[in-house]
Amino acid sequence: MKIEELFSRLAYGELSNLAINNGDGTIIEEKQPQIVQYINEGLLALCSRFRLIEHEVLIEQVEHITHYHLKPAFAESSGSDVEFPYIKDLPDEPFTGDVIRILEVHDEVGAVTLNDQANPLSMFTPQPDILFVPTPNPYHPLTIYYQARHSVLDTRPGHIINQEIEIPFFLETALQNFVAYKTYSHMNGQENIVKGQEYLAVYETSCLEAEMRDSANQSFHTSHEKLEMRGFV
Residues 138, 130: Cα–Cα separation, whole Å: 18
- b/e per residue 122-146 (b: at least 16 CB within 10 A): ebbbeeebebebeebeeeebbbbbb
Residues 87, 222: Cα–Cα separation, whole Å: 19
Residues 112, 109: Cα–Cα separation, whole Å: 9
Strands of 122-224 (E only): list them.
124-127, 130-132, 141-148
Average pLDDT of 108-112?
A: 94
Residues 15-54 pLDDT 10s: 999 999 898 999 999 999 999 999 999 999 999 999 999 9
Average pLDDT of 208-231?
A: 61
3-class SS of residue 87: strand
User: Which pLDDT does position 92 carry in this prediction?
Assistant: 85
CA dihedral 77, 137, 106, 112 (to 10 degrees): -140
Strands of 46-123 (E only): list them.
54-60, 67-69, 99-106
Residues 115-138 pLDDT 10s: 999 999 999 999 999 999 999 999
Residues 163-211 pLDDT 10s: 999 999 999 999 999 999 999 999 999 999 999 999 999 999 999 999 9
215 confidence band (pLDDT: 50, 70, 90): confident
Residues 139-168 pLDDT 10s: 889 999 999 999 999 999 889 999 999 999
Contact between 85 and 78 (Cβ < 8 Å): yes
Residues 85-102 pLDDT 10s: 999 998 888 999 999 999
Kindly list the distances between the CA atom of residue 221 and the CA atoms of 55, 103, 206, 225, in Å, as whole numbers in the listed order. Answer: 11, 12, 27, 11
213 confidence band (pLDDT: 50, 70, 90): confident
- pLDDT of residue 64 exceeding 50: yes
